Amino acid sequence: MHGLINRAIEEFTRATYGDALWTAAATAAGADPRGFAMMRHYDTALTGKMMRELARRLSRSPRELAEDIGAWIAGVPSIRRLLRFSGSSFDAFVAALPEIQGRALMVVRGFQLPALSVSATAEGWTIVADAEPIWIHALSGMLRAMADDYGVLAVIEVAGDQLQVSVPLTAFSEGRPFSISDPLLGVA
Amino acid sequence: MRHRDLTLAGGAGLLPDEAAAAPPPALAEAALSMMPMHLLVSADGRVLSAGATLARLLQGQDRFDAAFDPIGPACIGDLARAERVFLRLRSDPARVLRGRGSLLADGAALFNLGFGIGLVDAVRAFDLTDRDFAPSDLAMELLFLHEANSAMTDELSRANLRLEEARSKAEAEAFTDPLTGLFNRRGLELSFAALRQGASIDLSQQFALVLMDLDHFKTLNDTHGHAAGDAMLREVAVRLNAATRAEDTIARTGGDEFVLLLPHFADAERLERLGQRIVASIEQPFDFNGTTCRISVSLGGALSTDYPCLDWAAMQAAADDALYRAKRAGRGCLRIAGHGSD
């Protein structure tokens, strides 16, 4: 697993629940409590262990946790901006999800995200990830946050290993302002 | 719901909903509508058509000459035939558009232009959005990479800073005696290396080396316990700090062994006076949990001015000899190598 993914889990935990929880879970999982290095690769099993240790301490399931992490990542100002670059509307954003894997690899060598495929349905889209089911849960959290960001009302449901997305209302709220030129406008 | 055509979505702009309703345009018109950075100029230099994005740069200018200062050929016909054209904006001379032209049958010229590497700056200056670029243009991808690159660089800088801090801390610990906070032997060597480096530049650099042992420290340890011994060592460190200058190095190199490295020190009498001050200070009674403890100290010094060239080993040996003489003379005093007698 790429260090950036592990770092995201770490940063989410520290920011949301504090350093003490992070240190306890990392120690129990056998990870370095000082934190993950972002440009290193780690054993994928360690990431799973980390997620289970965190989930147990929070009395949640790893999938619920993954969803929270997905939503949190989409709110990190610099990442939120990179995500907004994928499409000028929520529709365009969802349609461009298959590009995310390529974008990640283009920015950071070896940063392998799961391949996503999107197909149109009568109600909206079906998204499938070529990865462990937990990724779909992380993606559902991220999509919910992005729907808010674009100001659309979206129904996002995990069905088995698939994600069903529909948008009953495209102009639900104003969404958050976004300008491709000025990062400061995006932070707000 | 609006269009759900996945082959079109993901790109940007130029997909108006009303497009379906209008009759299909002629080829030229269709082509120009897909080129937001095009410029069509008549043979006599009038702007006949400009793409939506380029029009914002023109700010109403309708003469080619008034809007642009071409780099290279100035005549529109030659520009249109060139492999690459570079057009400087007169309203903003730092901005150079690049592209290529094509000479049309009636002498008019069609240019398709771009921002080149100036894209990021242009987006900021003209507040451009993804709708200002053709979907086939890689502008958005370039902006994405620019942004991603900045984010990664920031993140790496932060990580580097953390490593740097951890390294400084580890280094400080490696050179420090944890009990007293004084330098340890490695710290002393580092100080001496720094002193020698300075000395090679400034040959007048003169310093004194002083070795000191606490007198009967073992007895104090045996009588009052190790805790008392440790407290005493910490107290000695405090008193040595008070008796010396900020530029002096004080190290604890063993159980009850201390070393002073005193730069800008050439005078034996002055060193003698410092020795007396240190002995007097260390001999002050010291309270440990209600018990009054006393200790004294023997010192052996050597002055670099007594040596024709900087010889660390010889100075150490001489200071050690002097320390031995101090002990033989009844302890609680300083002896200086090559000065005074037993």
| AA letter at A30 | G
Asked if A118 reaches chain B (Cβ–Cβ under 8 Å), the answer is yes
Instruction: Tell me if residue B330 falls in helix, strand or coil.
Output: coil
| Calpha distance A88→A150 (Å, rounded) | 9
| Calpha distance B252→B239 (Å, rounded) | 13
How many Cα neighbours within 13 Å face the side chain of B9?
A: 22
Contacts of B145 in chain A (CB under 8 A): 106-107
State the pLDDT at residue B88: 93
State the pLDDT at residue A38: 84
Identify whether the C-beta of residue A156 lies closer than 8 Å to the C-beta of residue A143: yes
- In the predicted model, is pLDDT for residue B13 greater than 60? no
State the pLDDT at residue B75: 85
The candidate with the shortest Cα–Cα distance to B177, out of B167, B164, B166, B186, is B186
| Calpha distance B297→B260 (Å, rounded) | 13
State the pLDDT at residue B76: 87
Residue A39 is classified by DSSP as T
Closest chain B residue by Cα to residue A86: B10
Kindly list the catalytic residues of B: 256
Residue B329 is classified by DSSP as T
Instruction: Report CB contact under 8 Å: A180, B140.
Output: yes
State the pLDDT at residue B82: 86
- Of A37, A170, A180, which has the smallest distance from its Cβ to B129's Cβ? A180
Encoded tokens for B326: 């101090």
Instruction: Report CB contact under 8 Å: B13, A92.
Output: no
**What's the pLDDT tens digit per position in B151-161?**
888 888 888 88
How many Cα neighbours within 13 Å face the side chain of A148?
A: 10
State the pLDDT at residue B90: 93
Instruction: State the pTM of this model.
Output: 0.65
Topology classification of domain A73-176? H-NOX domain (3.90.1520)
Asked if B155 reaches chain A (Cβ–Cβ under 8 Å), the answer is yes
Q: Which helix (H) or strand (E) holds A117?
A: strand A116-120
What distance in Å separates residue A70's CA from the closest CA in chain B? 18
Determine the number of helices (DSSP H) and then strands (DSSP E) in chain B. Answer: 11, 13
Contacts of A78 in chain B (CB under 8 A): 147, 150-151, 154
| Calpha distance A89→B5 (Å, rounded) | 13
- In the predicted model, is pLDDT for residue B77 greater than 90? no
What distance in Å separates residue A127's CA from the closest CA in chain B? 13
- Of A120, A170, A182, which has the smallest distance from its Cβ to B6's Cβ? A120
| Calpha distance B303→B337 (Å, rounded) | 8
Instruction: Report CB contact under 8 Å: A107, B10.
Output: no
| Calpha distance B12→B314 (Å, rounded) | 79
Identify whether the C-beta of residue B206 lies closer than 8 Å to the C-beta of residue B247: no
Q: In terms of DSSP bridges, do strands B38-41 and B249-252 run parallel, antiparallel, or are they unpaired?
A: unpaired
Instruction: Report CB contact under 8 Å: A86, B10.
Output: yes
Asked if B147 reaches chain A (Cβ–Cβ under 8 Å), the answer is yes
Encoded tokens for B222: 């045996």
State the pLDDT at residue B2: 40
Closest chain B residue by Cα to residue A37: B159
- Of B130, B152, B159, which has the smallest distance from its Cβ to A88's Cβ? B130
Average pLDDT over residues B134-143: 86
- In the predicted model, is pLDDT for residue B252 greater than 90? yes
Identify whether the C-beta of residue B209 lies closer than 8 Å to the C-beta of residue B275: no
Q: How many CB atoms lie within 10 A of CB B179?
A: 13
**What's the pLDDT tens digit per position in B127-138?**
888 889 988 888
| Calpha distance B284→B231 (Å, rounded) | 14
Encoded tokens for B77: 């016909």
State the pLDDT at residue B155: 84
**What's the pLDDT tens digit per position in B286-308?**
888 888 888 999 999 999 888 88
State the pLDDT at residue B324: 95
Residue with tokens 């002995």, as numbered in its chain? B279
Q: Residues 6 or more apart from B287 whose CB is under 8 A from it?
A: B293
State the pLDDT at residue B12: 39
This model of the complex carries an ipTM of: 0.77
State the pLDDT at residue B173: 85
What distance in Å separates residue B58's CA from the closest CA in chain A? 20
Instruction: Report CB contact under 8 Å: A82, B148.
Output: yes
How many Cα neighbours within 13 Å face the side chain of A139?
A: 32
Share of chain B above pLDDT 70, in %: 91
Closest chain B residue by Cα to residue A94: B10
Where are the domains positioned within chain A? 3-60, 73-176
Instruction: Report CB contact under 8 Å: A103, B148.
Output: yes
Which of A159-163, B19-23, B210-214, B321-325 has the weakest average pLDDT? B19-23
Identify whether the C-beta of residue A42 lies closer than 8 Å to the C-beta of residue A51: no
* Angle B160-B163-B166 from CA coordinates, rounded to 5°: 155
Residue ranges of B 50-89 with Cβ closer than 8 A to chain A = none
Encoded tokens for B98: 């690049």
Per-residue pLDDT of chain A (188 residues; tens, 9 = 90+): 899 999 999 999 999 999 999 999 999 999 998 888 888 899 999 999 999 999 999 999 999 999 999 999 999 988 998 899 888 899 999 999 999 999 999 888 889 999 999 999 888 999 999 998 999 999 999 999 999 999 999 999 999 889 999 988 777 777 888 777 755 443 33
The candidate with the shortest Cα–Cα distance to B331, out of B285, B299, B284, is B299
Instruction: Report CB contact under 8 Å: B151, A78.
Output: yes
Encoded tokens for B51: 């793409």
Asked if B1 reaches chain A (Cβ–Cβ under 8 Å), the answer is yes
- Which residue would you say has higher pLDDT here, B312 or B248? B248
| AA letter at B215 | D
Contacts of B121 in chain A (CB under 8 A): none
Asked if A59 reaches chain B (Cβ–Cβ under 8 Å), the answer is no
Which residues pair with residue B208 across a beta bridge? B262, B303
| Calpha distance B65→B57 (Å, rounded) | 14
Burial class (CB in 10 A: 0-12, 13-18, 19+), B341: exposed
The candidate with the shortest Cα–Cα distance to B317, out of B337, B335, B340, is B337
Contacts of A103 in chain B (CB under 8 A): 144, 148
State the pLDDT at residue B199: 60
Contacts of A167 in chain B (CB under 8 A): 1
